[in-house]
Amino acid sequence: MALASTQYGPVLGTGDDVLSFKGIPYAAPPVGPNRFQPPRPPEPWTSPRDSRHYGATAPQTSTEGAMAELIPRTIIPGDDYLNLNVWTPGLTGRAPVMVFIHGGSFTSGSGALAVYDGTRFARDGVVLVTINYRLGADGFLWFGDGTPNLGLLDQIAALTWVRDNIAGFGGDPGNVTVFGESAGAMSVCTLLAMPAAEGLFHRAIAESGAAHNTISPSSARLVGTRLAAALGTAPTREAIADVPVPQLLAAADKLTQQVAAKPRRKLWGDVARTLLPFSPVVDGDLLPGAPLDRIRSGAGADVDLMIGTNSEEARLFLVPTGVAAKLNTPLLYAAAGLRFGLPVAGVRRYRANRPGATAGDVLAAVMTDSYYRIPAIRLAEAHPGSYMYEFAWRSPACGGQLGACHGLELAFVFDNLDEPSAAGMLGPAPPQHLADLLHKTWITFATTGNPGWPPYTPPHRTSRHFNTASGTTTNNRPDERLTWHHH
């Protein structure tokens, strides 16, 4: 057992070589009068708080169908879910700090997933923190009045807690790297553009998410109005707060499915492009402008940035669902044109570069670039000195069809290939040497700001390629990159 101090009271953790403290509240429970309000400080305590087990997680539905085995969820009931977890090599010293923001489309996930266990980061000299934040309607519903972007404000409150308390856990508050995957990476890139987050972190890593996934106030109102109509309530936060949580979660899930089925701008505004009805809003104040524009104008310029994607991100969404197998050539051209704005000549370029590929394979490549790779490149271009990577190891799962899909790199980054809940996505015998390399690279960047290869700078556009055999590439797939020049 171990005892550490925070500004709100002492916490009791566990461990020997590595110490862990779980479920530490960084803000008051966001329920009752605190619901739909900015995060408020937790009530202080005097007796040591038992922090040997994960705390509550944000309300969310459980995974169903084909995705349940690939993307497990940890759901722990309770109101006090604005909490965080710390793994540390010791309570003295000033180790680099890494704060992980989980993904899950801004509607699911938590810092309590087993694959995010930070033991191996702490073993290798890093203080690792994972956090929860408000999800779905509670985190991102906005009608234009009150405070927007509550989920992002939760993340800022957690980073503020790290700044003010992490020295008591052996961490250096002057060397904090924030990193995230998917919606967590989108959060990282949005935080780069938020004045309220300035100075809270010094380095940033964005895995499979960039600075394109925000929506306008009018789009947020469209989503909120449609959610209220589905619930039969007035279009206000106060009315929606009276809806039982299970009913609200079910309605929000159904709304997300409706967006995916008919992603039309007339119905959903910007959400037709992002497919994320609950996501950061460019409100003009907390988030003064679109993150990419803000970063291009110098926001976050003093933050070291590493950004990357997986080679076949979209296969996670197209293979287990059976969509890829059902696609034929006419549907491919229609889907690529309507959904991604890619002209027929562009689709033909992708097809020509992949001899023998099915229509589903080509759509997966187009979707991967549209939603992940090209936005990552745009961010690297907007933030001079950024480092880029591509994770290309192909999982043998789903009969070898899953490939280098979305989320696959996480178990490698955390060096948790032996975590049973990751087996569905990893398949048998994932390469430990690749986990050693990825894990070490993330730590090197967090420690020094340089992962070990040149920045992504035109015309060379150097990028690190992670696979069974890893190396660097220059000007990777330029013909396909230029296909998106109009975007």
Q: Hey, which residues are catalytic here?
A: 182, 313, 406
d(CA 309, CA 311): 6
Question: What burial class does residue 283 get, using C-beta atoms within 10 Å of its C-beta: 0-12 exposed, 13-18 middle, 19+ buried?
Answer: middle
- In the numeric block, the tokens 């992490």 are attached to 166
**Helix or strand or coil: residue 462?**
strand
DSSP one-letter code for 395: B
**Helix or strand or coil: residue 373?**
helix
Alpha helices, H only, 277-401: 291-296, 315-318, 323-326, 329-340, 344-352, 359-368, 374-382
d(CA 254, CA 377): 33
d(CA 402, CA 360): 12
* DSSP code per residue over 248-285: HHHHHHHHHHHHHH---HHHHTTHHHH--SSS-B--SS
| Percent helix, strand and coil across the chain, each to the nearest 5 | 40, 15, 45
